[in-house]
Structure 1
Amino acid sequence: MAEPKTRDLFIGGEWTRAETSDRDTIRNPATGEILATVAIASENDVGRALRTAQEAFPAWSRQVATDRADYLYRLIELIKRDTEKLARIITSENGKPLKEARIEVNFAIQLIRFAAENVRRLEGNIIPGSRPGEKILIDKIPHGVVAGISAWNFPLALTARKLGPALAAGNTFVIKPHELTPLATLALAELTVEADFPKGIFNVVTGGGATVGNALVTNPITKLITMTGSTPAGRKIMAAASEGLKEVRLELGGKAPFIVMEDADLDAAVDAAVAARFMNCGQVCTANERTYVHTAVYDKFLERLRTRIKALRTGDPLDEKTDMGPKISAAEMEKVDGMVQNAVKQGAKLEAGGKRLTGGAYDKGNFYAPTLLTEVTAEMDIAQNEVFGPVLSLIRVRDFDDALTQANRSRYGLSAYLFTQSLKNIMRMTRELNFGEVYVNREGGEAAQGFHHGYGDSGIGGEDGQYGLEAYVTTKTIYLNA
């Protein structure tokens, strides 16, 4: 076993010790191996990072937009070069299969590239004035210091999703990666040094949300907060930010419905349902949480689905043949198991899985069997609460009206899926399915040029694409007279 690394804070382009000696221990969820010990920032450390970002802001924001983009392009090339290294870091700290980690690295590249390519499209406007010769200018300007708080399920991509547009738009940036998975973000910080980023424009403070996250949110230097995480955490951040009337963008939980109608391509739908549920061990906010299947094709769908799920290989995420790795932690695994057992008590039928995997290498990690539940009803807890684990709940529906009604019976509104060949149903979906993004006849996976956002308990604001980039600037109105 390799000696665990010791990682410090990244402030002002340099590695710096935290004020206290307290450290988080980062473990591999597949093996239990200690990967590193990471500094825990104090409130003073967070303040130091924010002041450093504030001092770097004037020079960075005055740079020509394409010059800022050039730094991001240099970073992209370094990420490409280190794709395998970064993928292995992600797999080691998060547990997702290596083949999925490589996809995450590529998505991080696409997110940063979009921001760099479109920085010149942050356009203002000129409006005729109300006085002779007057022009009204609507200018787009950066907020200042942006604070990012990210989740553990996509440790590199979530940082890239915020870093790219924040810096491209002329802001400086301080991020708190999740305390369970900070290593990919710290590796990215190393690459920003190699890319010769100006000191202070990108800073990383590590530690828990109650201390480090709260300090980022409440410090008056912070002008915009962009957070990806759980709905309860998002509520706390919004409440804390309200004291300073700060702009907040929150990408939170989901409970995606996956609707399969009688005219669907069943093989394609089964493949997509499995991919959308079991990727990253189900730890995806856009995951297929509720699978609604038309009664006319329910039995055929179930037969094929049962076969596909039982064929999934769960094990060492570094093995190229592995389809699913471990849960991020023992606590998360126990939470999922509790939800499954409660569903069975409420009347669901366990078709596959429903237990922790044990024996041999399984005993060292947090492995939970790919699970299939049938006879699930809308009233069951598992149909209402986000599972965030490898559990597929199958629900029979009478028709499209029934599917829409049940799908919309949720406090979440992030992602949804629809498999049908009916244009009429697709058109109805655009009006009546209350989710921010819908995948029609395909598996999940948002695009860098799209807009990733939800309704209700899934958050406010959004990320990606031109709409997401626009969030990282604010407006200034100028009444211009000679």
Structure 2
Amino acid sequence: MALQSTYDLFIDGRWMPASKGERLAVENPATGKTLAQVGNGTSEDVDKAVAAAKRAMPAWSRKTATERADYLYRLNTLIERDAEHLARTISQEMGKPIKESRVEVNFAVQLLRFAAENTRRLQGEIIPGSRAGEKILIDRKPVGVVGAIAAWNFPLALTARKLGPALAAGNTIVIKPHEMTPLAALELAKLVIEAEIPAGVVNIVTGDGPRVGVPLVAHPDTRLITMTGSTPAGKKIMAASAEHLKIVRLELGGKAPFIVADDADIDRAVEAAVVARFGNNGQVCTANERTYVDAKIYDAFAEKLRARIQTLKVGDPLDEATDIGPKVCGPELEKVDQMVKKAVEQGAKLEFGGKRLIGGLYDQGQFYAPTLLTGVNEKMDITQDEVFGPVLSLIKTENYEDAIRQANESRYGLSAYVFTNNLDRIMKINSELDFGEVYVNREGGEAAQGFHHGYRDSGIGGEDGQHGLEAYVETQTIYLNA
């Protein structure tokens, strides 16, 4: 199954060209070649999509929970059928190694499955009234038209993460995939048609932020805005949503600490540190951004870490042996390179890497060498700012308490990692670490039934699991009297 050369917008169950007839090129970051041309939408196209979603809303919301679930189950079955095609699409448009793209497709399946399974678990309440014979009903009902904006690093999973709970709760949705990686979402739209999801329930408008994202957020008929992306973009969305007092769910940047205590299993911690840092080329909001290692085991850890990083293979994302593909685009690669250079200027030691790879395949794409920095301290910019690239910053700490203190001194609060076998430390993690999710003695990777959310500059609200599903409904209080 091959990708198309051109894609239109998906609105009201039909493919239609962008209103101005313009297109955007989608490039393969491994080769620099154009994969496809997609519609470059405008506010006029957003208006059409939101109107379609609004028209479809009453009939969709009246369907029973099991009817909505059946549509999602059908969509899931089709994703499983086309899993390899979708994985190859992700690898080609985003640069993710094929083995990781398959994991992403499976995660999308799990997210939709959870939403389908839990349509009947959006439960209300009946509580005693304040008058004789009165009952107070707390009902849950869909919010309306959802505007969804997805980031480029997980083009299929992030679309599924928003589509699944929105539809399960009885809402309709307009999705804006990232302009660099829209193809997986558009391929998903084909399956939406095949699953016979009613026209207008799911709409996909491609284009950039100013032409599509801003009008979608500002549209008076989008009731809930869910966005995954950068913190600066999230703050702009928050401000733009204020005029109509929209519900806003923002999953933004991260600067996850990876704490290795003196009693940790070093081999296990090294492997997890590498997976959590270099998976998806470090382009993950939950990635290990700051590796804190107790001074007592620092040398042993650092030696094993160097050896493990140097086994990573950088290459063609479609090669089964590839561990790290290209950065998603040139500007992203340049940003990472400048951060490494600044860290060295501020006193960090560049152990290896720290440069763009050249020669052969590397000359065609956006490949950056896996990088290790040591001698990093908490005052350096690279310790405070999100890198989003294949750069591991190794930081020696005096003890476990020092690591906890440094970990919490961040404007971000999404994810954290702790490796320790001390039960007392483990039991105190919830009170000592100020992060929305913590991985204890394991690498990252959230579960569909969990709750993915952050504090501070990492966003507001959250996604996944029952708590994430309930974000897509509003409560209505009814005082019942005979």
How far apart, CA to CA, are the structure 1 residues paired with 2:166 and 2:122? Answer: 12
How far apart, CA to CA, are the structure 2 residues paired with 1:401 and 1:355? Answer: 34
The corresponding residue for 2:293 is: 293
CA contact (8 A) 1:269 1:419 kept: yes
Counting only pairs closer than 5 Å after superposition, residues 166-185 of structure 1 correspond to structure 2 as: 166-185=166-185
The AA in structure 1 aligned to 2:279 is: M
The AA in structure 2 aligned to 1:465 is: G
How far apart, CA to CA, are the structure 2 residues paired with 1:428 and 1:69? Answer: 39
How far apart, CA to CA, are the structure 2 residues paired with 1:350 and 1:284? Answer: 22
How far apart, CA to CA, are the structure 1 residues paired with 2:209 and 2:274? Answer: 32
How far apart, CA to CA, are the structure 2 residues paired with 1:419 and 1:198? Answer: 48
Gaps of 5+ in 2: none
Q: Render the CA deviation track for 1:433-482: whole Å, top value 9, x for unaligned.
A: 00000000000000000000000000000000000000000000001111
Runs of 4+ in 1 over 6 A off after TM superposition: none
Q: Render the CA deviation track for 1:43-90: whole Å, top value 9, x for unaligned.
A: 111011000000000000000001000000000000000000000000
The AA in structure 2 aligned to 1:232 is: P
The corresponding residue for 1:51 is: 51
CA contact (8 A) 2:262 2:400 kept: no
The corresponding residue for 1:138 is: 138
Shift in Å, 1:3: 9.3
Shift in Å, 1:4: 6.5
CA contact (8 A) 2:136 2:478 kept: yes
Gaps of 5+ in 1: none
How far apart, CA to CA, are the structure 1 residues paired with 2:92 and 2:18? Answer: 24
CA contact (8 A) 2:146 2:171 kept: yes
The corresponding residue for 1:284 is: 284
CA contact (8 A) 1:220 1:244 kept: yes
Q: Render the CA deviation track for 1:163-220: whole Å, top value 9, x for unaligned.
A: 0000000000110000000000000000010111111100000111122011111111
How far apart, CA to CA, are the structure 2 residues paired with 1:45 and 1:303? Answer: 55
RMSD over aligned CA atoms reads 0.8
The AA in structure 2 aligned to 1:217 is: V
The AA in structure 2 aligned to 1:433 is: L
How far apart, CA to CA, are the structure 2 residues paired with 1:326 and 1:63? Answer: 44
The corresponding residue for 1:190 is: 190
How far apart, CA to CA, are the structure 2 residues paired with 1:282 and 1:312? Answer: 13
How far apart, CA to CA, are the structure 1 residues paired with 2:217 and 2:330? Answer: 29
The corresponding residue for 1:432 is: 432
How far apart, CA to CA, are the structure 1 residues paired with 2:428 and 2:74? Answer: 45
The corresponding residue for 1:352 is: 352
How far apart, CA to CA, are the structure 1 residues paired with 2:17 and 2:360? Answer: 39
Q: Render the CA deviation track for 1:79-131: whole Å, top value 9, x for unaligned.
A: 00000000000000000000000000000000000000011010110011111
How far apart, CA to CA, are the structure 2 residues paired with 1:10 and 1:98? Answer: 27
The corresponding residue for 1:367 is: 367
Shift in Å, 1:428: 2.1
Q: For residues 288 and 3 of structure 1, do their structure 2 counterparts lie closer, same or farther at Cα, with a shift above 3 Å needed?
A: closer
The corresponding residue for 2:461 is: 461
1:471 match: secondary structure: helix
The AA in structure 2 aligned to 1:257 is: P
CA contact (8 A) 2:348 2:374 kept: yes
Q: For residues 4 and 63 of structure 1, do their structure 2 counterparts lie closer, same or farther at Cα, with a shift above 3 Å needed?
A: closer
Q: For residues 3 and 422 of structure 1, do their structure 2 counterparts lie closer, same or farther at Cα, with a shift above 3 Å needed?
A: closer
How far apart, CA to CA, are the structure 1 residues paired with 2:350 and 2:131? Answer: 73
CA contact (8 A) 1:313 1:321 kept: yes
The AA in structure 1 aligned to 2:303 is: E
Identity %: 68
TM-score of the aligned structures, taking structure 2 as reference length: 0.99
How far apart, CA to CA, are the structure 2 residues paired with 1:230 and 1:15? Answer: 30
How far apart, CA to CA, are the structure 2 residues paired with 1:42 and 1:346? Answer: 44
- The alignment covers a number of residue pairs equal to 481
CA contact (8 A) 1:76 1:109 kept: yes
How far apart, CA to CA, are the structure 2 residues paired with 1:247 and 1:300? Answer: 49
The corresponding residue for 1:122 is: 122
1:96 match: secondary structure: coil
Asked whether 1:107 is paired with 2:107, we answer: yes
The AA in structure 2 aligned to 1:86 is: L
How far apart, CA to CA, are the structure 1 residues paired with 2:375 and 2:42? Answer: 49
The AA in structure 1 aligned to 2:469 is: L
CA contact (8 A) 1:138 1:477 kept: yes
Shift in Å, 1:21: 2.2
Q: For residues 193 and 286 of structure 1, do their structure 2 counterparts lie closer, same or farther at Cα, with a shift above 3 Å needed?
A: same
Counting only pairs closer than 5 Å after superposition, residues 352-431 of structure 1 correspond to structure 2 as: 352-431=352-431
How far apart, CA to CA, are the structure 2 residues paired with 1:430 and 1:50? Answer: 41
